[in-house]
C-alpha cells in the first residue's frame, strides 16, 4: 500500500469507528432530561475555569454551527441549566455559566454515561491501546 492509500484506509477506519461508537452511545444515553448535544455543552462548561466560557470559545468544542449553538444555549438557559452573562472584558461578548441545577444534572448523567463509554470503548481495547488511541487522536487534533 502507498502512504496515500494507508492514510485513506486509516481515515476510513477512524471515521467508521467514531460513527459506530457514537451511535451506540447515543442509543444508550442515560437521560430523558437532556439530549446528547446538550450534555456536550454542559461537559465543556464543567471543564472550564469557574464552569463558564465565552460563547465564541465554546463553539469550536461543539459539532454545531454558531447559530445552532446560540439557540441551544437559549434553550438551556430557559430551563435554568446555564445562565448567560455579559462579558465584563468585551461588551460584545457573552459568557455562558453552568448553574447549580445544570451542574447537578451533568453529574447525574455523566456517571451513567461514563459507564457506557467504559463498556463500549474500554471493553474493546486494552489499557495500553487506550493510551495509544488517546495519544494518536491528540496528535491528529493538534
Q: What is the pLDDT of residue 1?
A: 72
Domain residue ranges of the chain, discontinuous segments joined by +? 3-141
Q: Is 98:82 a contact under the CB 8 Å cutoff? A: yes
Q: Which residues of the chain have pLDDT under 50?
A: none
**pTM (predicted TM-score):** 0.84
Q: What is the pLDDT of residue 90?
A: 81
Identify the architecture of domain 3-141 in CATH.
Answer: Orthogonal Bundle (1.10)
Cα–Cα distances (Å) from 91 to 52, 53, 96, in that order, read: 17, 15, 14
Q: What is the pLDDT of residue 106?
A: 96
Amino acid at each position: 500500500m502507498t502512504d496515500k492509500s494507508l492514510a485513506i484506509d486509516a481515515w476510513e477506519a477512524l471515521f467508521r469507528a467514531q460513527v459506530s461508537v457514537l451511535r451506540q452511545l447515543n442509543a444508550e444515553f442515560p437521560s430523558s432530561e437532556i439530549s446528547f448535544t446538550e450534555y456536550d455543552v454542559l461537559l465543556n462548561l464543567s471543564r472550564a475555569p469557574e464552569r463558564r466560557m465565552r460563547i465564541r470559545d465554546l463553539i469550536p468544542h461543539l459539532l454545531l454551527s454558531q447559530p445552532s449553538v446560540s439557540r441551544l444555549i437559549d434553550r438551556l438557559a430557559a430551563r435554568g441549566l446555564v445562565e448567560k452573562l455579559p462579558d465584563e472584558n468585551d461588551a460584545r461578548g457573552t459568557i455562558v455559566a453552568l448553574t447549580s441545577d445544570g451542574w447537578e444534572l451533568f453529574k447525574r448523567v455523566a456517571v451513567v454515561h461514563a459507564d457506557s463509554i467504559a463498556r463500549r470503548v474500554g471493553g474493546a481495547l486494552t489499557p495500553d491501546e487506550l493510551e495509544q488511541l488517546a495519544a494518536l487522536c491528540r496528535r491528529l487534533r493538534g
